[in-house]
């Protein structure tokens, strides 16, 4: 199994921010994942760190990256994909097989495991609509299979965020449609991303905060005057106030400082406590820990 010590993670993350991680494992299948997690039960699990802010001071623990768990199989309208499969790749393969339901993934930088974990979605489509079952690791029972209802999906969340479950594999039930219909939906998603979200050539982690129920985090942040706000080497994107851009020399503390300002202004102006969509991995920097206690309510 691929294993690294003191792994410099900066170039791997979407934010292009992060220090050295003490131990990083890259399992290629479920059996290897289980082998690692039994050895490192407190390991942080992620796909390709597209939605994770890693501390510039690094992380002393273990991280399991599922990016090499990338097997894909088609059986009629049923698609099975490993946690590390890129959503963009899977949506394009579904198109080639005349299958609809994953068009929204074409605009996402993440992988299947993370998208199931957070019930990702866009333009009226979401994981909850198409997931048939998920194979997850449960510390008490080992590898188990959860049905769609077992996953307890709701807006941008699943049971995996409330229990220590790690998504290993997902089975999707899709619908047959013409390639023209599927392509049109994919084009709609791509067009929206180009017009409303920063390109991944601008280092960012996607939406910083979740939308509060019945509201828009971006609108609240814009009305709170956050567009263009700068701290250190990062700033809030000028075109949409729910995105933080790394200007190439930003640090994790810069990002958390901006996140706190975003959180504070919205709370003061609207009495709404925004919840981060970005996950944080660190713990060695005292200032970051204090900010995270507020942002993540820990």
CA 291 and chain centroid, separation: 21
d(CA 182, CA 224): 38
**Which of 24, 66, 28 shows the shortest CA–CA distance to 48?**
66
* Residues ≥6 apart with Cβ < 8 Å to 74: 93, 97, 99
Lowest mean pLDDT among 66-70, 117-121, 263-267, 287-291: 117-121
Q: How far is CA 17 from CA 6, 25, 100, 112, 248, in A?
A: 15, 19, 35, 22, 9
**CA dihedral in degrees (279, 285, 291, 293; nearest 10)?**
70
How far is Cα 72 from Cα 66, in angstroms, rounded to an integer? 14
For 70-121, write each residue's pLDDT tens digit: 999 999 999 999 999 999 999 999 999 999 999 999 978 889 999 999 999 8
CATH number given to 72-196: 3.30.465.10
CA distance 209 to 81: 27
Specify whether the CB–CB gap between 158 and 152 falls below 8 A.
yes
Q: How far apart are CA 274 and CA 134, in angstroms?
A: 29
Catalytic residues: 156, 207, 277
Mean pLDDT of 20-29: 98
Q: What is the pLDDT of residues 122-164, one digit of tens each?
A: 878 899 999 999 999 999 999 999 999 999 999 889 999 999 9
Domain ranges for the chain, please list them: 72-196
């Amino acid at each position: 199994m691929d294993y690294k010590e003191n792994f410099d993670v900066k170039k791997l993350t979407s934010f292009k921010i992060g220090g050295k991680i003490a131990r990083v494992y890259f399992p290629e299948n479920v059996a290897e994942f289980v082998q690692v997690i039994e050895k490192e039960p407190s390991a942080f699990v992620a796909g390709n760190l597209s939605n994770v802010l890693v501390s510039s001071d690094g992380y002393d623990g273990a991280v399991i990256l599922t990016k090499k768990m990338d097997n894909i199989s088609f059986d009629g309208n049923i698609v099975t994909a490993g946690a590390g499969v890129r959503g963009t790749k899977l949506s394009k393969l579904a198109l080639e097989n005349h299958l609809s339901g994953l068009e929204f993934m074409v605009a996402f930088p993440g992988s299947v495991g993370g998208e199931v974990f957070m019930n990702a979605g866009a333009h009226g489509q979401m994981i909850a609509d198409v997931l048939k079952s998920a194979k997850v690791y449960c510390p008490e029972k080992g590898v188990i299979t959860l049905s769609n209802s077992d996953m307890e999906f709701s807006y941008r969340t699943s049971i995996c965020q409330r229990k220590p479950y790690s998504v290993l594999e997902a089975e999707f039930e899709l619908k047959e449609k013409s390639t023209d219909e599927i392509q049109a939906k994919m084009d709609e998603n791509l067009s929206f991303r180009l017009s409303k979200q920063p390109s991944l050539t601008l280092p960012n982690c996607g939406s910083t905060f979740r939308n509060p129920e019945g509201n828009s985090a971006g609108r609240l942040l814009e009305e709170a005057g956050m567009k263009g706000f700068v701290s250190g080497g990062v700033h809030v994107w000028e075109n949409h106030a729910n995105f933080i851009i790394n200007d190439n020399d930003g640090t994790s503390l810069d990002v958390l400082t901006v996140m706190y300002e975003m959180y504070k202004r919205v709370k003061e102006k609207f009495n709404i406590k925004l919840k981060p969509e970005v996950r944080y991995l660190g713990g060695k920097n005292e200032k970051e820990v204090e900010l995270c206690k507020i942002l993540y309510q820990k």
